[in-house]
A and B are shown apart, each in its own frame.
Chain A
Amino acid sequence: MRQKLPITNRRSRRGVLKTAVVLAGAAGVLRLSLRPAAATPEMLVDAIRGVVGEVPVNKGKVKLDLPPLVENGNSVPCTVSVESPMTAANYVKAIHVFNEKNPQPYVIGVKLGPRAGRAAFSTRIRLADSQTVTAIAELSDGSFWSDQIDVIVTLAACIEETH
């Protein structure tokens, strides 16, 4: 096990920061933003409707795990687990993940069955911006359950120009 650095203690020991670091605007360096348009709320609703149909989506049973503060949106660890006995009579059929502000709302959809034993998967996702991420599980009885998390995506202080 690595020991976590006592950064806070260290900082207080050192006392007041002598260095003032300020993020300034684009003074002197003008670059066009290359960022594509984000998905609209309608696109998100449509994407979810495309999976769920008109069935109501309940809150609960699903646990979406994402770090609340992301240090780089290019690769964000994402785990979804669903409470389920995973028996032939009662299991999770599918899990879907949606995001709010990437160009496309659908992130991943997985199909599983009682043979999984445990209704969970992990992957790494891209988040273009701070936003809400939604996971929806489809159970064998036709019901849908969900969880939502707000994620803050920070930008690294030092970023290289695009190559």
Chain B
Amino acid sequence: MKGFAAASALLIVAVSSALAVDIPLDQRHSDAEFISAGTRAMQNDETQNPGMLTVLDGETLWNAKAGSSGKSCADCHGDARVSMKGVAARYPAFMPSQGRPVDLEQRINLSRVNDQNAMPLAFESADLLALTAYVARQSFGIPVAVVNDVQSKPFIEQGRTLFERREGQINLSCAQCHDDNWGKNLAASVIPQAQPTGYPIYRLEWQAVGSLQRRLRSCMIASRAEPYDYGAPELVDLEFYLLWRARGLPIETPAVRP
């Protein structure tokens, strides 16, 4: 079914030449508002949301010792419900030590390498998704508050450039769907605004939890563009721009999406 769908989902899009305009702040909506009532119910009920199983796995990992330091996350950070509250709402963030922004997954790995003397976890590995989901869950309901300061701005602007740039065989930019045509239908789906407030998400198509980078890569693959590798600066810049664009919207990790 999927193979067929992928083949037939080739889109021919004739787009007006109107310039992309930012969505006014007061017209932004969580992507949860564009999904079916059944999928929304699945997200909102903890016992129905499979993403919560990943959050629980993350809690176990938070308290597990890792690396040659013999320390767990909790040994330094204590109770995540206190120490991690609001943290995910500020990621991606510029890291002076890196000279560029990192996303939450990369931030967790930096801590593993530098503080725990452990190997970094692979992108999209169950453990990295679980730790990220657990940390992000501690910001549930907290408005996104990424920092757009002098150091961050060039990266956020680079993310915007990528968001608005046409690419791939369909010659489509992210903005053409998610800024210019949100709320309208693309085949049977309503186009959401692409406000990434619920990552890592449980996605019905994946039948699994996945990261924002995975989702961005999916979009690129679907628009027949060459996806950037996991961890590529372009993906982090895109994430940075998207979270800045979603500033003020509440974190809803783990979201459920079709």
Do A and B touch (CB < 8 Å)? yes
Q: Which residues of A contact B (CB under 8 A)?
A: 2-5, 7, 10-11, 17-35, 67, 69-77, 124, 128-129, 154-162
List the 10 closest A-B pairs by CB distance, nearest first.
Answer: A154-B188, A158-B222, A26-B7, A18-B16, A157-B187, A72-B204, A157-B186, A160-B218, A77-B38, A72-B258
**B205 in contact with A159 (CB, 8 Å):** yes
Bound complex: CA A4 to CA B3 (Å): 33
Which residue of the partner chain, among A17, A75, A162, contacts B42 with CB atoms under 8 Å?
A75
Please state if A10 and B258 are interface contacts (CB–CB under 8 Å): no
8 Å CB interface, B1-15 against A: 1-15
CB closest chain-B residue, reference A10: B183
- The one of A10, A30, A73, A155 in contact with B9, judged by C-beta atoms closer than 8 angstroms, is A155
Q: In the complex, A20→B224 CA distance in Å?
A: 18
* Chain B residue total in the interface (Cβ 8 A): 52
For A4, list chain B residues within 8 Å (CB).
33
Q: Do B9 and A28 have beta carbons less than 8 Å apart?
A: no
Are A77 and B189 in contact, with the CB atoms below 8 A?
no
Establish whether residues B188 and A71, one from each chain, have CB atoms under 8 Å apart when the complex forms: yes
Is B71 in the interface zone, CB < 8 Å from A?
A: no
Q: A158-B223, A160-B221 are in contact. Are A23 and B183 (CB under 8 A)?
A: no
Q: Is there an interface contact between A77 and B10, defined as CB atoms closer than 8 Å?
A: no
**In the bound complex, how far is the Cα of B103 from the Cα of A77, in angstroms?**
34
Shortest beta-carbon distance from B90 to chain A in Å: 25
